[in-house]
Structure formats: C-alpha cells, structure tokens
C-alpha cells in the first residue's frame, strides 16, 4: 500500500473510535508537555544562571599580568613563552592592543594600592582599587546603599561593608551577627575621607637637580635619562555608597575594601609596586600596569581570548574551568529533568500500546477481511504503525503547545512569588526552537516504537481465525 493511502486509512480508522484515540493522544500530549515544561525550565534556569554569572563578571574576565612580574599563575606559564626579561611590558599600548582583540569588550588596568585614609582624625590603612564605570552592572552592587559613582573621574568612593564597620568601630566579634548595610551606610554616606598616597610624577632629566632638592622625594634614573619623583599627596574623597557584597571577591588577599572610579585612580598616578622595576627600561611617561583586566563578550570565548593574549607574551588567568563544571552541572540537571519529563511520555506510550492492542481485538475481523482480500503483513503492520504515528504527531503538537503554556504559568507564578518577596522578576523558563522540534520528533518516535508491538501482532494475525469470529 502506498504511504499516502496508509496515512489516509489510519486517520479514518482513528476517527472511527474518536473518544478512545483522543484520550490516548491527550496522554501523549501530557507526556510531551511535561517533557517540554521540565526541559524549558532547565534551560531557563541555565540561562538565568548564565546571565547572573555574566553580570558577576567573574566568568567573562581574563586577568593579564606581565611576565616581567615573575608572578605567573602556574609553573607551566612560567616555563613556556618568552623569557621574562625579553617579554613585553604591560603598558598602555599593550592594553590598547588587547582591547582590540576580537570578542574583547574592554580591557582596563587594574589599579590597586595601599593608602592611608583619615576619618574623624583617625588613620585607617586599606587596599584601594579603581573600578571601571562598566562595573556598575556588577551584581555585587545589587544590595548597595547609596549610589554608584556619578562619573568616571568623580572624587567619590564606595566602601565595602567590612571597612565601613571598621570606620564606625563596629567590627563584629567572631560569632556575633554582622551589622546590616543599611545601618552602616546611614552615618557614612556623604562623609568626606582624606586619602594619603604616593604620587609618581614625571621628572624631565633636565630638572633632575631641582627634583633632587625636593622634600619627600625619591629619584630613579632610567637608561634614557628620564626620571620620576614620588611625592606624598592628599586628596579628599566623598563616600557615595556602601556595598554589602564584595565586588573584588576574586582577589583573595589583595582584595580592596575601598573603590574609586578607575579614571580618577589613573589620574592620581599612584606609585605602583611594578614601577620600580620598570624604570630600568621604560620611558617614565608611559606607566606600566601590574594587571590588566579584560572583559570578554561571553564566557565561551574566554579561552580563545586567553590564548591570543598569551601569544602576545603575557600571563593570563581566568575561571574558565569553573564555568566548564557549571555547564556540566546544568547538563546533568537537564538530563534529570528530561528523564522525569520522559517518564510521563513513557506512561503515554503504554497508553498507545494499550489502545492499539485493544484496536486489534476490536478490529480482528477487519484485519482478517483485509488479509483475505489481499493485504500483506506489511500493509496491516503499516496501517497500525501509521495510526500510532498519527497519534504521535497530534500528541506532539498539542503537547508542545501545552508544555509552552505550563511553562508560562510556572514563570508567571514564580514572578508573582518573587514580587511578593521583593525580588526583581526573572525569566526562569525558555523554550528554544530545537526543543519544540525535538519534542515533536520524540513524540513521533516514541509513538512509533509503541506501535511496533501491536503492529507486528496485527500483521501476524491468522486470517482464518480472525474471520471465524461471527
């Protein structure tokens, strides 16, 4: 029998016992729907986590250091590549070169230094770091009190909660509860702090004699004859924010507790630890950076960017491995959600088998007639197979629509809940195209597999026996 005829006969047979076949098809739909709902939830959560991680800035960041620092992140990096003395310096031109690599969003120098701050005439020592304006979207600032820097050069600072507590003399004792940010921010926001730091100023070689006389100044000579002085300076900074989380968590020991706009930090020309080394072969007008942080468009491109930067002769570091294990986690999660979703489909497939086996009993005589007038085993098998397939197609389409609707409702419900808990709404559910097509295909395949046994049973039916029933 031709395929088209087979399909036509299958549809008309299904219409004959419309109620039973509709119920079976609904069974498939529910199975597909649960599969789609589960997987779309898994995918949605994965995307949500991906968005969150992207915002955290941890997973799309490559940290670049100069090999001249002799502070490679691992032995392999120390041993491969150019020798430290012959490797390029990590200066402004290198930064610009890195910024122009494909898939790089921005590359900015990491400026951090230890400074002395005076607040209400008491000195405090802390690590300070410059933050690029793009860090505004970092989720570390989600629970921040006050506001982000008003501009990239404003004389403003944001304090980490623990430093704020220190300023107020509220450092929590071990075991006791931490003070809330709101509480800490209230007395500090808008207050002025005085920062004492070491400025590095260029000194033309001709002015060397003058520079020598200057109080509080040190002097270094470069082979080119240029030099710089280190001058003690003071600047007044306004507290604009106190943040709860730690924007600098990746830094470990060197993490800063006070943040200022990056441009401001650069303009201050604070003496950097690497400066002393670099004076031996660098013009003093172009400062070298200890570290450059590179933001990549997406975590998946981190490896490629890292490789490109390594080729330039720098050391790099990223948490790519962490993202890999995260993706692995979601792959496992999706797998489990898929298995749970498939369970319903498995139940539905038993429904198909049941319906078709019932249909064989009911249509025994019909099968006998068809065989008597010349239907081959293949024709009969094909007919039952086609019936299973048609139920699968219908079930698949309806199921995807149903699953989509269920997902929407779950999403809506979650958002209502989030809103009540004062959280921003989130898209925790996503149905990609491949899932729609895949679920329909899966429904058809499962239906056909379920039809396999009934179809071959129908095909094997003995026509003499089948026709004997009156």
Partner 1 sequence: MPLGENSIAIHTENLCRHYRMGETLIRAVDGISIRIIAGEFVALLGTSGSGKSSLLNLVAGLDRPTSGTVVVQESDLAMLSREELAKYRLHTVGMVFQSFNLIPSMTLLENVELPLRFAEVDRGKREGLAKQALDRVGLSARLRHRPTELSGGEQQRASLARALINRPQFLLADEPTGNLDSQTGTEIMNFIREFNETLGMTIIMVTHERTLAERYASRMIFLADGKLVGDQSNVLSSISGQVRGGGL
CA–CA dist 390, 396 (Å, integer)? 10
Decide whether 4 or 434 has the Cβ nearer to partner 1.
Answer: 4
- Nearest distance in Å: CB 338, partner 1: 39
Closest CA to 107 of 241, 326, 257, 308: 308
Give the contacts of 220 (CB within 8 A, at least 6 positions apart): 227, 228, 276, 279
Q: Among 266, 127, 250, which residue's Cα sits nearest to residue 195? A: 127
Q: How far is the CB of 454 from partner 1 (least distance, A)?
A: 18
Structure-block tokens of residue 465:
């026996």
Distance separating alpha carbons of residues 320 and 301, to the nearest angstrom: 10
CB of 376 to partner 1, least distance (A): 4
Q: Which residue has the tokens 């989380």?
A: 245
Whichever of 366 and 426 has its CB closer to partner 1, that residue is 366
Give the closest residue to 148 by CA, choosing from 245, 239, 57, 268: 239
Q: 205 or 376: whose CB is closer to partner 1?
A: 376
By beta-carbon proximity to partner 1, the closer residue of 7 and 449 is: 7
Minimum distance from residue 448 beta carbon to partner 1 (Å): 22
Torsion sign (Cα): 280, 285, 115, 95: negative
**For partner 1, the closer CB: 8 or 234:** 8
By the 10 Å C-beta count (0-12 exposed, 13-18 middle, 19+ buried), 100 is classed as exposed
Instruction: Give the binding site for partner 1 (CB under 8 A).
Output: 1-2, 4-5, 9, 12-13, 16, 365-366, 368-379, 462-464, 467, 470
In whole angstroms, the minimum distance from the beta carbon of 29 to partner 1 comes to 25
Nearer to partner 1, 245 or 369 (CB): 369
Residue number with CB closer to partner 1 (22 or 97): 22
| Degrees to nearest 5, angle at CA 289 with 236 and 153 | 30
The pair of three-digit structure tokens given for residue 71, joined into one six-digit string: 């502070």
Contacts of 400 (CB under 8 A, 6+ apart): 32, 33, 36, 436, 439, 440
At closest approach, how far in Å is the CB of 327 from partner 1? 52
Element (H or E) spanning 405, and its range?
helix 377-420
CB of 2 to partner 1, least distance (A): 6
Whichever of 13 and 274 has its CB closer to partner 1, that residue is 13
Write down the least CB distance from residue 363 to partner 1, Å: 9
């Amino acid at each position: 029998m031709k395929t088209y005829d087979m399909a036509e006969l299958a549809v008309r047979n299904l219409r004959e016992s419309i109620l039973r076949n509709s119920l079976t098809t609904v069974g498939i739909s529910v199975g597909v729907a649960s599969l789609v709902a589960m997987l779309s939830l898994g995918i949605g959560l994965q995307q949500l986590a991906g968005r969150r991680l992207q915002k955290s800035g941890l997973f799309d960041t490559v940290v670049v250091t100069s090999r001249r620092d002799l502070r490679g992140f691992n032995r392999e990096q120390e041993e491969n590549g150019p020798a430290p003395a012959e490797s390029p310096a990590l200066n402004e031109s290198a930064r610009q070169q890195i910024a122009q690599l494909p898939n790089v969003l921005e590359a900015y120098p990491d400026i951090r230094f230890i400074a002395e701050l005076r607040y209400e005439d008491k000195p405090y020592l802390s690590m300070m770091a410059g933050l690029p304006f793009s860090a505004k979207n970092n989720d570390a600032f989600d629970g921040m009190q006050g506001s982000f820097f008003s501009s990239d050069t404003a004389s403003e600072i944001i304090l980490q909660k623990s430093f704020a507590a220190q300023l107020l003399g509220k450092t929590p004792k071990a075991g006791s509860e931490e003070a809330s940010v709101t509480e800490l921010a209230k007395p500090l926001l808008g207050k002025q702090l005085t920062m004492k730091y070491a400025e590095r100023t260029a000194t033309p070689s001709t002015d060397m004699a003058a520079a020598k006389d200057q109080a509080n100044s040190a002097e270094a000579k470069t082979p080119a004859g240029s030099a710089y002085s280190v001058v003690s300076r003071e600047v007044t900074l306004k507290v604009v924010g106190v943040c709860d989380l730690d924007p600098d968590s990746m830094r470990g020991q060197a993490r800063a507790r006070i943040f200022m706009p990056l441009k401001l930090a650069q303009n201050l020309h604070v003496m950097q630890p690497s400066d002393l080394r670099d004076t031996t072969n660098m013009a003093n007008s172009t400062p070298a950076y200890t570290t450059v942080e590179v933001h990549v468009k997406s975590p998946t491109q981190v490896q490629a960017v890292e490789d490109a930067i390594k080729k330039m002769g720098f050391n790099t570091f990223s948490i790519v491995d962490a993202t890999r294990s995260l993706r692995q986690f979601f792959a496992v999660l999706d797998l489990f959600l898929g298995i749970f979703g498939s369970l319903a489909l498995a139940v539905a497939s038993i429904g198909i088998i049941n319906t078709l086996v019932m249909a064989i009993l009911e249509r025994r005589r019909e099968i006998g007639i068809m065989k008597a007038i010349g239907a081959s085993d293949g024709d009969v098998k094909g007919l039952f197979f086609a019936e299973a397939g048609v139920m699968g197609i219908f079930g698949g389409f309806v199921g995807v629509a149903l699953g989509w609707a269920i997902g929407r409702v779950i999403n809506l419900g979650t958002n209502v809940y989030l809103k009540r808990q004062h959280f921003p709404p989130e898209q925790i559910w996503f149905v990609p195209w491949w899932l729609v097509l895949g679920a329909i295909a899966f429904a058809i395949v499962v239906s056909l597999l379920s039809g396999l046994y009934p179809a071959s049973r129908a095909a094997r039916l003995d026509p003499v026996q089948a026709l004997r029933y009156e």
